[in-house]
Structure 1
Amino acid sequence: MDASLTPYHDHHLELLRLAREHEARLAPALVRSHPDLCLVVAQRLVASVKAHLSMENTILYPALFGAVDADIQLAAKGLEADLGELKARLGQFSHHWTSAETIRLAPEAFVQTSKDLLQTLRQRIDQEKARLFPLVERA
């Protein structure tokens, strides 16, 4: 593994752990009875994803855009361009689910938007691991 990618691999593992923790609290009965707990776990995940994306946007992707290897540049530019869906879902999620009361009032919607966000997050991590990281590690 390229040592420069170690923090990103580690962050991905942590994000996936937080995603599993959030997902484990998406049983409708639990969401209805403990929206406060669901909110805390969801906010922890959202904050971690935002911090990770900030790190990628300010450090990783700018460095890869200047890479000597054209395949790395192309993959980085493509993945950066595809980042919009995750950012949009993340923004919508964090702006809508701001309190336990919003979750209590619409538990089914909270569960569905959570699942959509988790799917988008996992797809993004899978794309970076499959398309970008192997190129960087071989360079």
Structure 2
Amino acid sequence: MARTDNFRKQHVEILSIAREINQQLDPVVSEEDATRIRRRLSKMHGLVELHLAMEDKSLYPSMLRSDDSVARALAQRYSDEMGDLALAFDNHMRAWTSSASISGAANVFTEQTKGIFNALSKRIHMENTQLYPVADALP
């Protein structure tokens, strides 16, 4: 088993929830649909927070201790860059705390949520294709 297998599995789960939410996004969202969206978004946010904590506690430190300068540089860059996206997602969660806020401004919520998901999807792709292969190749 590669050292990043669990991280990759978490990525699959996070993206799956994002797809489910994306299918429900619309400029007009009923309060009932907004409730389902908010629950799924909360679950996804929890998974992202867990994922980030695991990377911060195990993946990045092990890469930063490596003799491989490429691994160290990648770990430092990815660790530094993730803070902005994590903050944006946290702010998004604080801005949309209820189903009423979502259904009351569904068009704005939809646009902002798609932006967060797009950034997260790009980040996941970069981790899967650039960061994790280097981490997996370390002794």
For normalisation by structure 2, the TM-score amounts to 0.90
Whether the 8 Å contact between 1:15 and 1:45 is mirrored in structure 2 is yes
Alignment correspondent of 1:58 = 57
RMSD of aligned Cα (Å): 1.4
User: Which letter does structure 2 place at the counterpart of 1:25?
Assistant: Q
Whether the 8 Å contact between 2:26 and 2:106 is mirrored in structure 1 is no
Distance 1:97 1:23 in 2: 16
SS in 1 for 2:30: helix
**1:21-58 C-alpha deviation (Å, 9 max, x unpaired):** 111111234x2352111111111111111111111112
Q: How does 1:68-87 map to 2 (within 5 A)?
A: 68-87=67-86
Q: How does 1:1-139 map to 2 (within 5 A)?
A: 3-29=2-28, 31-33=29-31, 34-139=33-138
SS in 2 for 1:18: helix
1:78 Cα shift? Answer: 0.9
SS in 2 for 1:122: helix
**1:50-84 C-alpha deviation (Å, 9 max, x unpaired):** 11111111221111111121111111111111112
Distance 1:104 1:117 in 2: 18
Distance 2:116 2:9 in 1: 20
SS in 1 for 2:130: helix
Seq. identity, % = 26
Q: How many residues align?
A: 137
Distance 2:132 2:43 in 1: 26
Query: Gaps (5+ residues) in structure 2?
Result: none
SS in 2 for 1:27: coil
User: Which letter does structure 2 place at the counterpart of 1:80?
Assistant: S
1:138 Cα shift? Answer: 2.8
Distance 2:135 2:44 in 1: 27
Whether the 8 Å contact between 1:85 and 1:120 is mirrored in structure 2 is no
Report runs of 4+ in structure 1 exceeding 4 Å deviation. none
For normalisation by structure 1, the TM-score amounts to 0.90
SS in 2 for 1:131: helix
